[in-house]
Chain A
Amino acid sequence: MMLNTSWKNDWSLLKDSFQQDCQFHSNHFKYCLAHPNEVQTTVLEDIIRLGQNSLMWKEENYRLNTVNVDEYRKKIPIKRYADFIPYIEREIDAKGGVLSCSPVMRWLKTSGTTGSAKKVPYTQHWMNHYRVPAIKAMWSTYMHHCPEMLSDPYAVLDMQTVLEEPSEFIKGLAYQSISNRYPRLDKNDWTPPWLNAPWFVSGMPGSHEERMYHRLRFLIGKPLHFISTINPSTLISMWDILLSQQERLINDIHLGTLNGKKLFEPNATLAKQLTSILNTKNISFKDIWPSLSLFSCWVSASAKLYRPLLNKILPGVTQIPFMTCGTEGVVTIPVDESLTSQPLAINQAFYEFVPAEVDMSDVLNPAQSTNTLLFNQLETGKEYHLIMSQANGLYRLATGDIFRVEGFEGNVPRLNFIRRDGIFHSFTGEKLTEDQVTEAISTFSQQNNIDLGLYMCGPKWAHIPRYVLMLETPSDLSVSNDEIAEKIDGCLQKVNIEYASNSTLAIIQYT
């Protein structure tokens, strides 16, 4: 049975409205960037409107007489996620009305990178008025940089969204990642033209490898212009699977099959072309898809370590960032190609900042009062803790993320995610952070013109304690381990003064 191609009709029907809708939200975001004070007040009004009749506000006595930034900061304490848990547990039963007065549609599951997975309420209001508009504004930027992406139903490979039947539920509501947008919750939910494309729909294979193969099978030989993903590792994985499954892929293309089913016209010419391409040295995705002109993924913090590898598999293809966001909310929305910073998503939340050098445990101590900074009180080059009030009921949430201000878009700061707060190690008070190790390795890489990959670094207790660094290097590297260790050690001493003063204690070991 040949493949049903009715999804192409859906694509044609959705294409124009999708483009217009994205453009609308992009224009709105740009308006917001030009009127940031007014917009932050509007967002705060909305948050208060939805919060003031919630059980949490009533029971915690968060009475606000007016929508006033100072009163809001005075009456409502800064909290960590853990402080919300008693109310989240009640919200699980009520599904709206406990944290905020909007129906909870599903629970978002965090990756749990800094502890057990969280439960973030995905409310109807938050989805319709914040999260989905943010994606649309971002896609408008993508369209601006790659207008061809709507020229053909096969022009976009969207891997930032997945559609998977949820497998976990909490008292009736699905518990899934933010990137899983299945099922559509209402007519305002994310509806790209490729919604029903066979490499996007919920019937895709469950395993990562098979899913990726599925995408490759459908898109090879097609005029692909844009690949979008969140994590750069997805692109690397796609490349690995292309190489490891090439025989199967060529055979399937030749026979017109997928998993033994004849779904396509047999294509001996394309199979031959692919064979030829894959037998050539130093190939890239650009050889597979000559039309490819843009790709998006995260580029900040440790994600930038992927750049050398991405340059190899996507040479000459423009990179554009994915929004800086977590399950808890959006922080920046890309408006241009800059890989170093993007403007604060001024219409997505009410944002507050605390200088990074301040200990957040002091800020969270109810006995102490800390004056937070607003978006218009930040300075270029400085780093800040982020505190966010989102319209899903997590008010004044200390996110644990630290951002650096790289400049301004009008009056709105352009931010770069630097690191998680509190993720460091000390032997003797050096507080060595992931960001500092990354910076030292990047400096070494640039100074010595060596493409380095990912790394892992950890403390090793011994008579003389030290750090152990495992680092991906080119196979033909002629520099010795000791030499690399010495040089990276030198770079670390420059970025961390305390480390420098105790550097006799800390030795880099290269593996």
Chain B
Amino acid sequence: MSTTTKEIEFILIDQVRLAAHKWIPTEIKGVVFYFHGLQSHGGWLWEVGNLFASNNLAFICIDRRGCGMSEGERQIIPPVNQLLLDYTLAISHCLNKLPKSVPINLFGHCLGGSILAALLNYKGFTIKFDSVVFCSAWLGKLYSTLNEKELEKIRFDKSDELWDAGLHAEDFTSDSRYSVFIDDDTLATRKLVSRSRKHLLDLEEYYLGSNWNCKKPVVFISGTDDTVVDLSSALSVFQDLTAGKGTIVHLPTSKHYLFFTEVKNSLVNWVSYLTVSKGNIHCV
């Protein structure tokens, strides 16, 4: 009988302990590194982690600096270089304790997708991976929705006031069990200190206009509609980044957080197969 272990490891980076949530199956056929969004953290993944592990995939989520169980200033988006360094070092640290030869998938959800897109352009990120998933990720959101004046305002904002991200549980899921969880989650990030929003702009600048020329399979997965993300805008950026070679998958839901919808199992199984097969997957 296979057994999944669930560990939380604190990884010290620049004097801050980052929490890595790890679901590790007995037999590891692949690894999925999950980049959480603005609001969520590793505590949202209790079902998904177990599902990936039951497919023999190690599933790891690093709570971003200041989020979830990680230390660091709350309600802050860290500077981009800090953010990318955190993920690079934390992922590298986790990989040291895993088998060397198994395929690696990088999975970014929502803002986590934006962070992942930037990471793929970060020179310090030299970790070999085999597939990439952007899930319900509004790539290039600020640059596609704000005019130059609004962008400038963010760029020069020095205020400590809290900016409300306007996230509503009902946009994430239609299942009351999950929406109650989201509303009650004391570790969730719903507001940002205004001065740190400029780092979101820096993040987008890190990847917008680039072309990865990535030889690995890159997939954009979302619902058929999304109550939080403008999919046509996000997909346009995705197409640019992948030079039209990325795969697009829509699953039958209109909610934003697919893991809290009825497509959860399909998504996990699809990504598991993508990971293990390294993208040798036939989509109809």
Contacts and interface: CB of A to CB of B under 8 A. Distances in A.
Interface in A97-125: 97-98, 101-105, 124-125
A53 B22 CA distance: 12
Contact of B46 (A54, A96, A125, A128): A96
Give 3 nearest A-B pairs by CB, closest first. Answer: A96-B6, A97-B8, A172-B181
A17 to B, nearest CB: 15
Interface of B: 1, 3-9, 21-23, 42-44, 46, 49-50, 53-54, 69, 177-178, 180-181, 184-187
A347 to B, nearest CB: 15
Contact of A103 (B43, B50, B178, B180): B50
A101 B43 contact: no
A455 interface: no
A172 B43 CA distance: 10
A124 B69 contact: no
A102 to B, nearest CB: 6
Contacts of A173: 46
A497 interface: no
A102 B4 contact: yes
A343 to B, nearest CB: 24
Given A55-B8, A103-B49, A172-B181, A94 B3 contact: no
29 contacts: A53-B5, A53-B7, A55-B8, A93-B187, A94-B6, A94-B8, A94-B43, A95-B6, A95-B43, A96-B7, A97-B7, A97-B8, A97-B21, A98-B8, A101-B7, A103-B4, A124-B3, A124-B50, A125-B3, A128-B3, A129-B1, A169-B177, A169-B180, A171-B43, A172-B46, A172-B177, A172-B178, A173-B46, A188-B1
Nearest to A92: B43
A486 interface: no
A71 interface: no
Given A93-B43, A94-B8, A169 B3 contact: no
Interface of A: 50, 53-55, 93-98, 101-105, 124-125, 128-129, 169, 171-173, 186, 188
- Choose among A97, A102, A169, A171 the residue with the greatest number of B CB atoms under 10 Å from its CB: A97
Given A96-B46, A128-B1, A186-B54, A102 B6 contact: yes
A188 B50 CA distance: 14
Nearest to A90: B69
B72 to A, nearest CB: 17
A257 to B, nearest CB: 34
B43 to A, nearest CB: 5
Contacts of A96: 6-8, 23, 46
Contacts of A124: 3-4, 50
A105 to B, nearest CB: 8
Contacts of B186: 93
Contact of A50 (B5, B22, B53, B180): B5
Contacts of B22: 97
Nearest to B53: A103
A55 to B, nearest CB: 6
Contacts of A93: 43, 69, 186-187
Nearest to B54: A186
A97 B6 contact: yes
A50 B5 CA distance: 8
A171 B184 contact: yes
B261 to A, nearest CB: 14
Contacts of B53: 103
Contacts of B50: 103, 105, 124
A101 B54 contact: no
Given A95-B6, A101-B6, A129-B1, 17 more contacts: A93-B69, A93-B187, A94-B8, A95-B46, A96-B46, A97-B6, A97-B7, A97-B8, A97-B22, A103-B49, A104-B6, A128-B1, A169-B177, A171-B184, A172-B46, A172-B177, A186-B54
Contacts of A101: 5-7
A172 B5 CA distance: 20
Contacts of B177: 169, 172
A55 B184 CA distance: 24
Nearest to B3: A125
A101 B7 CA distance: 5
Nearest to B6: A96
B4 A94 contact: no
B21 A94 contact: yes
Contacts of A50: 5
B181 A169 contact: yes
Nearest to A174: B177
A163 B69 CA distance: 34
Nearest to B186: A93
Nearest to B49: A103
Contacts of B49: 103
B5 A102 contact: yes
A101 B6 CA distance: 5
Nearest to B181: A172
A362 to B, nearest CB: 35
Contacts of A125: 3
B3 to A, nearest CB: 6
A107 to B, nearest CB: 12
B1 A103 contact: no
Nearest to A188: B1
- Choose among A55, A98, A124, A172 the residue with the greatest number of B CB atoms under 10 Å from its CB: A172
A104 B23 CA distance: 12
A104 B7 contact: no
Contacts of B8: 55, 94, 96-98
B260 to A, nearest CB: 9
A102 B3 contact: yes
A103 B46 contact: yes
A169 B46 CA distance: 14
Contacts of B21: 94, 97
A97 B21 CA distance: 8
- Choose among B23, B46, B53, B69 the residue with the greatest number of A CB atoms under 10 Å from its CB: B46
A176 to B, nearest CB: 13
B4 to A, nearest CB: 6
Contacts of A102: 3-6
A173 B184 CA distance: 12
A173 B53 CA distance: 18
Nearest to A124: B4
A53 to B, nearest CB: 5
A368 B52 CA distance: 46
B169 to A, nearest CB: 12
A125 to B, nearest CB: 6
B5 A94 contact: no
A105 B22 CA distance: 15
